[in-house]
Amino acid sequence: MESDQRGLLAGLRPVRRALDIPLRRRATMFHDAADVSFMILPKANRLTPEQLAEVTAIVTEFGCNIQPIVGTVRTIYAILGDERDELMINRLEGLDYIDRIDRIQSSFKLMDRRSDLASHRIKVGGVTLGEELFVIAGQCTIDPKNPNYFYETAAAVKEAGAHALRGGVWKPRSNPYSFQGDTKSLDILMEASRRTGLPVDAEVMDEEQLKLALDAGVAVLQVGARNALNYSLLRAIGRAVAERKVAVLLKRSLHMGPISEFISAAEYIVSFGNPNVILCPRGTAPTLDGYRNHPDESITPLLKEKTWAPVVVDPSHSVGKASYVPACALAAVAYGADGLCLEAHVSPNHGIGDDPKQAVTPDVLGGLIAQARQLWAMRGPSKGK
Ligand code: PEP
Ligand code: MN
């Protein structure tokens, strides 16, 4: 037996005496504990305030909390805290308005494919993700000095078949002297949204930007690759989007290892109550020589096997060169992606940020969307395993 386990068992003795549970059984429960969690499913679509108060009072007695997770149709209730007490679960199961308590063994209990959220569907711009190919397109960076390029790009990506418009307002730049974005671009982004009727996606990197973006009506908050491991920001976003209809596009970090690291980053956001998180592979470091990053659209089936969350691949940052983007986009769809997030510009040479290198023209965008839809039709909706 490892010495830290011996220490744990010794520490459990008073607990065992107090609860009159055999030491070995209690220890096993504690051993599995990190990955076991419970979800309450009411008989109706949600608990009434009185029922929620009763359930909360019971779990509070056992040092736990309730986190409602508001799905499109049903609300489910995750028990947070040290939630393995059988007495607590028995009392909850005894309530006549509770259908059942689901036990799930996973380090990402809400994002897991076996979770009760698996039937949740995310809707953006009139598209229910998973039902048809979802496309976000637009400039890497909005140029506040030349807003017309953005307005023209917005109209052109709509015409090409995009369902949502992307536009960088604040930019994470490797060089502190490069253009960092400008809050004025938020007005341009929202004006383009009004003109086209498209919902918009923009990256936020701190709480001030988060508040500005939400107040302005940004529909999809983007967490950039550089911030996908910034747990304080993930928590702040989770808190801010709880009980709002907005979605979060979570890019995969350049430096994420196991697939669980990516899914757990999404769990941070969802654990606050909004399940509208979209996973976005966008290439990783170290790079594949010749490409900007190491393309990772091939992880899509793996993500689909582990989680119910939609996968929207970003081929633009993956390969980093406009001429490679269509092939990477089609590969993503072949791998089972639910959608694509692409950089596009009416005149890439006049763009800023990544646009001169990566942005495809509206013509190329239209062609690749048409081909991707054909591929989707051959492939059908991706259901994972
Ligand atoms: C972007 O979308 O322009 C961007 C900076 O993306 P990433 O965080 O994936 O690098
Ligand atoms: Mn970019």
Structure confidence by residue, pLDDT tens digits, 113-163: 999 899 999 999 899 999 999 999 999 999 999 999 999 999 999 999 999
Which letter, b or e, does each residue of 165-184 get, where b requires 16 or more Cβ atoms within 10 Å of its Cβ?
Answer: bbbbbbbeeeeeeeeebbee
pLDDT score for 84 = 76
Q: Whose CA is nearest to atom 6 of ligand 1?
A: 224
Q: How many alpha carbons fall within 13 Å on the CB side of residue 6?
A: 3
**Checking DSSP bridges between strand 98-105 and strand 127-128, what pairing results, if any?**
unpaired
With a 6 Å cutoff on the Cβ, whether 199 touches ligand 1 is: no
For residue 357, how far is its CA from the centre of ligand 1 (angstroms)?
14
* Distance (Å, whole) CA 37 – CA 109: 7
* Nearest atom of ligand 1 to the alpha carbon of 280: 9
With a 6 Å cutoff on the Cβ, whether 292 touches ligand 1 is: no
With a 6 Å cutoff on the Cβ, whether 317 touches ligand 1 is: yes
User: Of the candidates 89, 102, 31, which has an alpha carbon nearest to the alpha carbon of residue 62?
Assistant: 89
Which letter, b or e, does each residue of 213-250 get, where b requires 16 or more Cβ atoms within 10 Å of its Cβ?
Answer: bbebebbbbbbbbbbbbbeebbebbbebbbeeebbbbb
Closest ligand, as measured to the CA of 173: 1
Q: Whose CA is nearest to atom 1 of ligand 1?
A: 140
pTM for this predicted structure = 0.88
Show the tokens assigned to 7. Answer: 């220490």
> What backbone phi and psi angles, to 5 degrees, belong to 97?
-95, 5
Count Cβ atoms below 10 Å from residue 33 Cβ, excluding itself: 12
* Residue 76, amino acid: I
For residue 165, how far is its CA from the centre of ligand 1 (angstroms)?
14
* Distance (Å, whole) CA 371 – CA 385: 25
CB of 13 closer than 8 Å to CB of 35:
no
Closest ligand, as measured to the CA of 225: 1
pLDDT score for 26 = 30
The 10s digit of each residue's pLDDT in 253-275 is 999 989 999 999 999 999 999 99
